[in-house]
Structure 1
């Protein structure tokens, strides 16, 4: 009776305290076991008065938990542990594979170039992102599925290089039949195209000298530190170095499941590989005072800054889209810090349009280096959402006569799109059509976004959707 009264009064005897201490010890032991296996606990809170009540997540979407100045959990709540979120063992490589373990200093530098701080980690949307193809032999068998989120720009940039490989690299002598061959891509060809695309981007970032591939192993590479927040995969990275592109592509192909498998963190691993291939030192030289790091928080998610987009497309993390480096301002005054633009024309191009900027004179002026790539493939940033425009005809950019009337395919990456839309572009003068929709109140109806995006490259062009109801 006294013992029960003691508990109700908030007091415990020595035997009770020993039992509690033992349970805490067991909890620490299991946390260590989970950590050794690459697993991570996620805190949840439940009402103490109602043990069967629904659990309320205590961790924010980005996995950061409460902010330093945030309010504490209300009284009457008890911290418990939920099932861990981790990379499945099937995607963890052995340390005997021959890579170099990441150091604490490299992990901190990696976080800072991405987020500006080593205490920020990727949120759930990024962690679940990987490179998932549509069904083999379907109308979109060549295409990646990219859901809305910050990693979509990474997935669609890789999609551009997949198209490069499928259309203009493999069996290029049968280019005239590209339209039909695009729907005959097998699962094995999908994997080869993905390996070729990833390797192509990494090799360009490494300037054709040395590139890295980052994979997650079963063991931590460094001890926890107060200046770094653990995420259970960055601190387990092994870096594999390559000075031969063919060997790089072969290795990526052998480990392709680590990039395309669900739960593999494939988009993050590719991003890490890209940054190490460029090297952190060169990344700081690429950036100027306008862009201190590569990701920015937008609408609750981390999105890629222009410098990261340019890094994937050109191999250099230039923060701007104009040609060359800007040394002077509009008045001809020498800038204290030059602004870095695009120095070379790449295989894949870039187009930009945002309807919220159409009346403001804030639209970035994309230079010819990005607008006119070597191949007719463009990564498009339309209203802050990434998509693709591409042609199956290599001659489109080399024969001016072909630019009078030609077809482009438009693909958004969204799961609901069943096939790429075939757009017919007419670049002849149609001045009489300019006033057809002037009475429309909706700017999107007067100036459809896809049309305006195309016009940033082909001024005055008209777009025929060939029977498809315009949806973009």
Structure 2
């Protein structure tokens, strides 16, 4: 006999709904954070010290008030993240490169001749649904790479860790720990395969996008926790004692963590041994494999170059990535440069004359033409010293030294742009 409840629902039906819950959420539903392990005081202190250098002072306020959001869908620059100029920009530039990578290349169906059936520009105006997918896929790829899941050979099982905030506070304010409103409330979730990370990120992506929220900090914490605090410290090799520098737009170490899975300050290829007759040669671990997304750096004028004498210049594994997308650091300003032809870096003819897009999360976008063919009217090697060249042009010359660069789009007008 099946008894009915006061609402007219049988106990059997109720029992079935408990056993077989709906896997798909209703449109607009935001699932509550369930499960995971609450953060301990020891880990909270270690995480803050590794990331920001101290736990007794709060991090810069932008880290707890910078969400991960994209521009209006189906419009010009719909592929772009939107964020003001602050210390999160290096992190968001790394994520932006992976968003573009998925939209332009990973998600595009290819024909037999390795070309897309639709023009690439159509993929740069994604719908809201495609924006959402690009975000959770890009975040998942970055986190999984930091866990070691995309850098063979592996020693042991990769383990990704994502931390989400809750309403509970697990670490109290003290002389050794200053509450920031986020770190002391985290729940930690562990994953051993990429698919589970993707499912989780898709489900809880809204927490990374909340207006005035801490999405950028949550992604940074996931990268650090997945790499491991001890490993991040080893990566820094004493060049820095913590990951996030005091630079206005963040540090290159955050970029290398997102691009290579290691927070290395060394941008050269492989391992270089440094020493002299009075000291043992010590290894400096640079970029150990070809990066899917590249990095180009221009430090600035001569005075800045002297101040950055110890800074590294990217090797070929960063300058020539698998896809024609580069995070750029131009006189301390971070952006992303990309080309829509996946064959650009594989075909000599394609690299003779081509366009590149340059975008920053502040909304600056320019289009430039790069011509690497010989020009009789231009002293190629001298162009690097051309005082009329903009910093962005000089940055492009670090990759294509003798190129003639022409601005083909409208002149940009962005106050914090390096160009």
The TM-score bracket by the shorter chain reads 0.7 to 0.9
Alignment match of 2:375 (pick from 391, 408, 430): 430
**Secondary structure at 1:295 match in 2:** coil
Q: CA–CA distance in 1 between the matches of 2:216 and 2:389?
A: 34
Q: CA–CA distance in 2 between the matches of 1:359 and 1:241?
A: 42
Does 1:139 find its partner at 2:88? no
Alignment match of 1:155 (pick from 92, 107, 111): 92
**Aligned-pair distance for 1:367?**
0.7
Does 1:455 find its partner at 2:397? yes
Say which structure, 1 or 2, has more relative contact order (CA 8 Å, 6+ apart).
Answer: 2
Change (3 A) 1:233 1:336: same
Does 1:407 find its partner at 2:344? no
Alignment match of 1:352 (pick from 268, 289, 297): 297
Partner residue, 1:205: 146
Partner residue, 2:313: 365
CA contact (8 A) 1:205 1:278 kept: yes
Q: CA–CA distance in 1 between the matches of 2:236 and 2:281?
A: 15
Q: CA–CA distance in 2 between the matches of 1:377 and 1:357?
A: 27
**Aligned-pair distance for 1:334?**
5.3
**Secondary structure at 1:144 match in 2:** coil
Deviations 1:260-306 (A, max 9, x none): 121221000111111111111222222212121112223xx5x5332
**Secondary structure at 2:116 match in 1:** helix
Partner residue, 1:113: 50
**Secondary structure at 1:402 match in 2:** coil
Q: CA–CA distance in 1 between the matches of 2:277 and 2:394?
A: 31
Partner residue, 1:74: none
Alignment match of 2:284 (pick from 316, 328, 339): 339
Change (3 A) 1:134 1:191: same
Partner residue, 1:326: 272
Alignment match of 2:226 (pick from 257, 271, 277): 277
Alignment match of 1:308 (pick from 226, 248, 254): 254
CA contact (8 A) 2:298 2:395 kept: yes
Partner residue, 1:52: none
CA contact (8 A) 2:235 2:262 kept: yes
**Aligned-pair distance for 1:344?**
1.3
Deviations 1:321-376 (A, max 9, x none): 112233125x6875564333211111100001132247846363211111111110
CA contact (8 A) 1:355 1:444 kept: no
Deviations 1:124-161 (A, max 9, x none): 22222111111100011111113111001111110000
Q: Compare CA radii of gyration and give the structure with the larger one.
A: 1
**Secondary structure at 2:369 match in 1:** strand
Alignment match of 1:189 (pick from 126, 130, 136): 130
Does 1:247 find its partner at 2:196? yes
Q: CA–CA distance in 2 between the matches of 1:127 and 1:260?
A: 12
TM-score under structure 1 length normalisation: 0.73
Structure 1 residues without counterparts, runs of 5 or longer: 1-89
CA contact (8 A) 2:120 2:340 kept: yes
**Aligned-pair distance for 1:226?**
2.9
Q: CA–CA distance in 1 between the matches of 2:52 and 2:200?
A: 29
Q: CA–CA distance in 2 between the matches of 1:91 and 1:115?
A: 31
Alignment match of 1:260 (pick from 195, 209, 232): 209
**Secondary structure at 1:386 match in 2:** strand
**Aligned-pair distance for 1:171?**
2.8
Q: CA–CA distance in 2 between the matches of 1:233 and 1:266?
A: 11
**Secondary structure at 1:198 match in 2:** helix
**Secondary structure at 1:132 match in 2:** coil
**Aligned-pair distance for 1:112?**
1.0
Does 1:468 find its partner at 2:416? no
Change (3 A) 1:335 1:464: farther
Deviations 1:44-65 (A, max 9, x none): xxxxxxxxxxxxxxxxxxxxxx
**Secondary structure at 2:189 match in 1:** strand
The root-mean-square deviation of aligned C-alpha atoms, in Å, is 2.6
Q: CA–CA distance in 2 between the matches of 1:433 and 1:232?
A: 57
